Amino acid sequence: MSSTEARRSIATVCLSGTLEDKLTAAARAGFDGVEIFENDLVASSWPAKEIGEHCAELGLSIDLYQPFRDFEAVPPDVLARNLRRAELKFDVMAALGADTMLVCSSVSPDAVDDDDLAAEQLHLLADRAAARGIRIAYEALAWGRFVNTYEHSWRIVRRAAHPALGLCLDSFHILSRGSDPAAIRTIPGEKLFFLQLADAPRLQMDVLQWSRHHRLFPGQGAFDLTAFTGHVLAAGYRGPLSLEVFNDVFRQADPAPAAVDAMRSLLVLQESLGGTDLPPAPALAGPAFVELAVDDTAEPELAKALHGLGFAETGHHRSKPVRLWQQGDARILLNGSAPAGGASVGAVAVESADPAGSARRAQRLLAPILPRGHRADEADLSAIAAPDGTSVFFCRTAGESWLGDFTVTSAPGPSAGVTGIDHLALTQPFDHFDEAALFYRAVLGLAPEPVTEFAAPFGLVRSRTVADPSGRVRVALESALLRRGDWAPGVREPQRITLSTVDALASARRMRELGAPLLEIPANYYDDLDARLAPPLLPELREQSVLYDRDEHGELLHFCTVVLGGRVFFEVVQRVGGYAGDGAVNAPVRMAAQRRARAA
């Protein structure tokens, strides 16, 4: 079976809300089935039969009922109680129409370390189950008292030798312990009853806490789920690919986008396994433009700032209140049709080798396609919405270009040395950080760099950059580590448009002459810089309020404007050698300075 034929399922525990909320979200995102998490059923006012009927109406099969805990390898009196408990759950499953039950390896103090006894009792349970048309999928919890590896659970299942008893494999339980999953290939496919997929960041912590709080959807963490799932499919597994992700954030996030995020993770996992008909991501060749939505107050403020930065207004749109500002290859559109709310990044356009192909892929990956009003003689740009609401356009600037929609009003003016757009930094809502990284990776084919963290004046900030292989399309995703309360003034952290120059000091000097609203950096920063890195040209950096960093590859000189229109600012960077980062070490100083400038 190729992986694309596999059915896709999700455990209800992945999503927030009541069982009704969860089922609706799963169905809308296109899942074929669900695992019913017992606690969700217990809290529901719908009887099991109605839940089953409701799932059928939604087009969802019930692929698993879970979890049944602490069953095996117990004394006779406990066994009798456990069998009674199981029979009552079989009643629920019959009403639901679920035919597979997950049994987790025991953590009970009642259990003994005896594989023969475990196999014998699981055989008995499988017999009872088979009489009801039910199968038992036995799973080794990573923290199981005696059984905590898939090899061990397989030894017991093999010993029990009952056709209604097989294995449930969970990628988290196996990969979190560092087990080699290759031996899964040696297990007969018909004994693999169920496959649960979860990714996770590499954390040095108690595995139970890691599992219950920090799982992620495939592709959002550090596990190699392509290799893992490959082993399971190679063994002959024919069941669904099912997500079981316990995550503190998803548990309280809107289930509709969370379910879409989940589905997207499975589609991309299946693509990585080959044999998919998902259109590949066309190559990208840098940002074509950034469009700022500006209201009446913000528009003149932004126009003045762009002038100060050496940009010239070179055209206006033929049918919309949009002005084109240009310097080198950097193009900024000011769109004056925005409602009140200052300024914000409304859209990012990327140069695609095949804009229509990019849009087709995006649609298949459940990205919302944005309706675009345009006249017959105007360019038809394909646009989708990123998780934070930013529009992403796919376009070509050369040839039959979107530039044709603009009337040229003037030639570029006296430049201040800006050559293009280096990258963007977009602040993500707290609950959409991991979703955003997966979106840009899946839909645009950008590669995520490692997550970094720094202490900003009002709390910790997480940052992750996604970039195409050439490094020409780079988006830094930033988010507060914890959702902020009333105290923190940076609830809506500003968005950044970073421009390139080949001479930061010269650009800064020229921009000051032109009246750019550049940010003043305090003397303490330069005293510390002297102590830490003793950079060349320190007096000039100090005089021009240019920030500095160095890594093993090269240097970064960068400076910023104050925050404009309440939400955006420009940064200008000069990269010397192969400096790889974005100067995050200087972000707290920059943020404190912007806060002062705003207060002033």
Tokens found for residue 220: 């959002």
CB atoms within 10 A of CB 450: 9
Helix (H, G, I), strand (E, B) or coil at 482: coil
In which element (H, E) is residue 589 found?
helix 587-599
Q: How far is the CB of 155 from its own copies (least distance, A)?
A: 28
The answer to whether residue 251 forms part of the interface with its own copies (CB under 8 A) is yes
Phi first, then psi, for residue 491 (nearest 5°) are -60, -40
CA–CA distance, 233 with 239 (Å, rounded to integer): 9
Q: Which of 228, 173, 226, 222 is nearest to 199 (CA)?
A: 222
The answer to whether residue 252 forms part of the interface with its own copies (CB under 8 A) is yes
The answer to whether residue 253 forms part of the interface with its own copies (CB under 8 A) is yes
Q: How far is the CB of 16 from its own copies (least distance, A)?
A: 6
| Closest to its own copies by CB, 398 or 531 | 531
| Closest to its own copies by CB, 209 or 401 | 209
Q: Which residues contact 16 (CB under 8 A, 6 or more apart)?
A: 22, 250, 251, 252, 253, 254, 255, 258
Site for its own copies (CB under 8 A): which residue of 4, 7, 16, 177? 16
Q: How far is the CB of 202 from its own copies (least distance, A)?
A: 10
| 256: exposed, middle or buried (Cβ count in 10 Å: 0-12, 13-18, 19+) | middle
Task: With beta carbons less than 8 A apart as the criterion, state whether 410 and 312 touch.
Answer: yes
CA–CA distance, 550 with 554 (Å, rounded to integer): 6
| 371: exposed, middle or buried (Cβ count in 10 Å: 0-12, 13-18, 19+) | exposed
The answer to whether residue 337 forms part of the interface with its own copies (CB under 8 A) is no
CA–CA distance, 427 with 110 (Å, rounded to integer): 51
| Closest to its own copies by CB, 445 or 494 | 494
20 annotated as ligand-binding: no
Q: Angle at which helices 48-58 and 19-28 pack, to 10 degrees?
A: 20
Side chain identity at residue 220, one-letter code: Q
Taking CB under 8 A as the criterion, which residues in 522-541 touch its own copies? 522-525, 527-528, 530-532, 534
The answer to whether residue 436 forms part of the interface with its own copies (CB under 8 A) is no
CA–CA distance, 200 with 228 (Å, rounded to integer): 14
Q: Which of 189, 72, 190 is nearest to 123 (CA)?
A: 72
**Residue span 79-98 as binding mask against its own copies, x where in contact by CB under 8 A, dash where not:** -----xx--xx-xx------
Q: How far is the CB of 19 from its own copies (least distance, A)?
A: 8
| Closest to its own copies by CB, 503 or 543 | 543
Q: How far is the CB of 101 from its own copies (least distance, A)?
A: 13
Q: How far is the CB of 529 from its own copies (least distance, A)?
A: 9
Q: Which residues contact 377 (CB under 8 A, 6 or more apart)?
A: none
- Number of shown-chain residues binding its own copies (CB under 8 A): 67
The answer to whether residue 543 forms part of the interface with its own copies (CB under 8 A) is no
The answer to whether residue 77 forms part of the interface with its own copies (CB under 8 A) is no
Q: How far is the CB of 99 from its own copies (least distance, A)?
A: 19
170 annotated as ligand-binding: yes
Q: How far is the CB of 97 from its own copies (least distance, A)?
A: 15
Residues that bind its own copies (CB under 8 A): 16-18, 38-39, 41-48, 84-85, 88-89, 91-92, 203-206, 209, 213, 248-249, 251-255, 429-431, 455, 457-460, 480-488, 520, 522-525, 527-528, 530-532, 534, 588-589, 591-593, 595-596
Please give the annotated binding residues, written as ranges.
139, 170, 196, 244
Please give the annotated binding residues for a divalent metal cation, written as ranges.
139, 170, 196, 244
